[in-house]
Chain A
Amino acid sequence: MKGIANFFRQLKTYPSAIAGLTIIFLMVALAIYALVTIPYNEAVRLWRGDENVWIETPRNARPAWFNYFYKEKQPVTINLKTTEDPSMKNVVELGGGVSTTDIVFEFDYQYDGFPTEMSLFFTAAFKNARPNVEMKWITPDGREIPMASMTLKSQETYRISQDSALVRRLRGVQPEKGLFADPNNPNKVLKGTYKLVTEGLIFEEGSTFDGTLVVYGKLHGLAGTDHRRRDITVALLWGTPVALAFGLLAAVGSSLVTMMLAAAAVWFGGWVDNVIRRINEIVMILPLLPILIMVGLFYSRSIWAILGVVILLGIFGSGILSYRSMFLQVKESGYIEAARAYGASSSRIIFRYMIPKVIPVLIPGFVTQVPSYVFLEATLAVLGLGDPLLPTWGKLLNDAYTNGALFTGHYYWVLQPAILLTLTGLGFAMLGFALDRIFNPRLRGL
């Protein structure tokens, strides 16, 4: 107990250790938060993003906090649903089963930028006769612009931005611009309250329809969205537990096995030692990444399969040599002699006497290894060999890169996962360096 207290007192004298520990702690907290708020299946479903999961988010939107830094405010997505706010709907019975349903989507638009897209989604319930709707746009200065009229199916989407008749009516200007433009200065937004009025005619008893107006903004959420409208926050959050698990498991797995092999090599000596050293010599210069690429390509891209291979290949390396030299010293100590004298078995000596002695030295080594494994996962993902299901930071970078995010100025897309990767890497590396100095007093003066 006293030893641990002493250790923490020493650790406190290293600011980098404190900073590293803080970062790791925050990352772990973020990982737990991600796992609790978005369960595994939900994360996979969201990131696969099929059908209508991301229908109401804009494409390639920047994070919403961008507005705090710019004088010109860009729009965030405006989303009005009659299912959530039935007061927008006004039903008037006309008798004989016929009724009118008017929906007034009313919103205050106080941004300096134009929206990117506009869509109106309808769901209708009817037996035979389909409801008919007619839409018009009312600007803050009272102009009325007629839009399309349509007969609804049970699911209907009116893509306002792609309405060519409306474009003609707006004299060739895209609707998301023309509908919001100041008539005196077409490049400026006319701020104020806009209304989209939907006048519906229903021909059946019990038939209804609901509408959702989405005015897609230029900003979205904490982290923005990608080219498939997916919220990047999901991937940033879920990338945390994946990166931590991958890095920690790979580092712990490979360094534990490395240590056991080194202990066995030293204890048994002779040909065992020789074989292990020769294998080490060879595996150390094997091209690790190309082999991983082949495994990922021909067998499984699952992150856990890759993890297994990484541990297998990570066993060998310069680590085995330094453990070997440590164990050589341990082997000569008196207590091993004593254990041998009372007839302890080889496995007892290796696992109960040799390995525990070296474990303190193992810790800094394995902590400093974590970042390289975290980056290895990202490296594979950037090559297009990321886990097929889970969102990870590396996959975000890969998406951003293949879509030319740096060319098109979507820097947030690259920078956010990159910063998280850097933070994770730095956290473990800084802690590892400090631990190294605590456990290897020889380095302390340098």
Chain B
Amino acid sequence: MLNIETAQEQTVPAKKRTSGNLGRIAKYTLVRGLTLIITVVIGVYLAILIANGGGYVDKMREGQVREQLSLELAGNEAMSHLTLQERRAVEEDMVKIRIEQLGLDRPFMIRSFEYLWNGLTLNLGSAEYLLSDSGSRQVRNILGERLAPTLLLMATGQLFLFFISVFFALFLSRRYGSVMDKIVVALAPTSAAPSWFYGIFLILIFAALLGWLPFGGMVAAPPPENAFLRILSTLKHMILPVGSIVISSIFLTSYYWRTFFLIYSSEDYVEMAKAKGLSGRAIERRYVLRPTLPTIITSFALTLIGLWTGAIVLETVFAWPGIGRLTQSAINMFDTPVIVGTVVIYAYLLAITVFLLDIIYALVDPRVKLGGGGTRS
């Protein structure tokens, strides 16, 4: 998807801006968007195939039909004079008829596409065991309730990581070879561990030993009445998880990015700018950071894919009431519809993250505007 090697050369004459720029960006974005939609569709289809390997989706659909029918029959006056057994028999017959009506007896290949559509629209019926906090059993409601906390945590973590890394990397490239620089290079391998792993250590230090910050959760229990205090409490609960996200990746990203900065700052045009007597800051911003941005965004996209993977356990470790925690409880309770739902949600979230970065990439990479974007793999 994103390539690192072509980002090296080419400085583009700034004058050559035509009205076609926007069109090219739009076209590029559209192509990327389509690819990502295809990815999501394939991901969800894969999930359906895997889940139905054990016949679980079929069972899920049958359960839905049964539930709906028993609700309908419960209020049916005509049924009231029948004995329990007769009623059961009628119900069984009706389930069979309904299954035929819905086409659930068709071959799996045909049904799978219906499931695919249901999956993509998150029309997954009701959960087997889990409830949403508001008491709904609809998978869509359960997922919807958990989405906001996940977005809050991950977006905050990712933004912090990006900006801290950029500034840290710039700082290091200025002090190339210093003790600090050497420490970061030495610490880069620590990023092999996922964020939840650092979370355990942070909880141990700051919650268990020092008692400064809460062990987990999103607000204090009971939540404060005052809205402002509630926000403060949430912020306090976010420090450790966001901290683990940042710590888990910061050394590797700043090591890589500092290397990119160093490569770019040895270019001739930077020497030229220095010769012109531009200030250090201006050179950094206009001649080093600007051409490095596409490369940085490319490498950040890879980091984010890893972060989303770690998010499930991170939320579990911090008892953060998001999709990841939901995934974990669904695993423990073997709640198939919810698990399929979380896979769909993660496919969407990952695709959207990459898509947003692609748009930013299109905006900052001059090659996209000038139609050279086709060289990207």
Contact = CB atoms under 8 A, between A and B. Distances in A.
Given A289-B312, A294-B343, A409 B39 contact: no
A385 interface: yes
Contact of A286 (B53, B310, B347): B347
A433 interface: yes
Contacts of B197: 375, 378, 418, 421-422
Contact of A321 (B3, B56, B331): B3
Interface in A394-413: 397, 401, 406-407, 409, 411
B234 interface: no
A426 interface: yes
Nearest to A277: B377
A371 B193 contact: yes
Contact of A383 (B312, B334, B351): B312
A282 interface: yes
Nearest to A273: B377
Contacts of A411: 204, 208
B213 interface: no
A54 B99 CA distance: 52
Interface string A315-329: 000100110010000
Interface string A363-393: 0000010011001001100111100000000
Interface in A283-306: 284-291, 293-295, 297-299
B1 A285 contact: yes
B194 A375 contact: yes
Given A293-B331, A379-B194, A433 B53 contact: no
Contacts, number: 158
Contacts of B208: 406-407, 409, 411
B133 interface: no
Contacts of B287: none
A335 B181 CA distance: 42
Nearest to B317: A401
A286 B194 contact: no
A426 B354 contact: no
A430 interface: yes
A299 B350 CA distance: 25
A282 B42 contact: yes
A285 B200 contact: no
Contacts of B194: 375, 379
A288 B354 contact: no
Interface string B194-222: 10110011011001100000010000000
Contacts of B196: 379, 382
A443 B259 contact: yes
A273 to B, nearest CB: 10
B350 A285 contact: yes
A287 B309 contact: yes
B295 interface: no
B295 to A, nearest CB: 13
Interface string B170-201: 00000000000000001011101110110011
B316 interface: yes
B190 A426 contact: yes
Nearest to B194: A375
Given A286-B39, A286-B43, A371 B308 contact: no
Nearest to B346: A287
B343 A285 contact: no
Interface stretch (B21-29, B44-52, B68-76): B44-52
A414 interface: yes
A225 interface: no
Contacts of B188: 429, 433
B313 A429 contact: no
B339 interface: yes
A433 B51 CA distance: 39
Contacts of A200: none
Contacts of A280: 1
Contact of A287 (B200, B204, B328, B350): B350
Contacts of B259: 443, 446
A401 B316 CA distance: 10
Given A291-B46, A375-B194, A318 B327 contact: no
Interface of B: 1-5, 35-36, 38-39, 42-43, 46-47, 50-51, 53-54, 56, 186, 188-190, 192-194, 196-197, 200-201, 203-204, 207-208, 215, 259, 262-263, 302, 305, 308-310, 312-313, 316-317, 327-328, 331-332, 334, 339-340, 342-343, 346-347, 350-351, 354, 377
7 contacts: A284-B1, A285-B43, A379-B309, A406-B207, A414-B204, A422-B193, A429-B189
